[in-house]
């Protein structure tokens, strides 16, 4: 089986000889922190595997 890698870094993550400390350092170097995202409440339907559609990502209106 031939594997295709998105980047050199992803190939390193799949390397079984990579030490845990090296893997953690690699992940931290490419991960975005929680401040990099916009957080908002969504409908409970988001947690239902039967729910489908782009409306699920719409923010709920905040109560006044």
Q: pLDDT per position in the chain (64 positions), as tens?
A: 344 445 665 665 567 787 888 878 877 787 787 788 888 888 889 889 999 998 888 888 876 5
pLDDT number for residue 17:
82
Q: Using CA atoms, how far apart are residues 29 and 61, in angstroms rounded to an integer?
A: 35
Is the separation of the CB atoms in 3 and 14 below 8 Å?
yes
Enter the pTM of the model: 0.39
């Amino acid at each position: 089986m031939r594997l295709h890698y998105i980047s050199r870094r992803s190939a390193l993550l799949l390397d079984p000889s990579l030490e845990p400390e090296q893997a953690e350092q690699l992940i931290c170097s490419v991960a975005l922190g929680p401040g990099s995202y916009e957080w908002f409440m969504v409908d409970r339907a988001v947690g239902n595997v039967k729910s489908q559609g782009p409306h699920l990502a719409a923010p709920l209106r905040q109560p006044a």
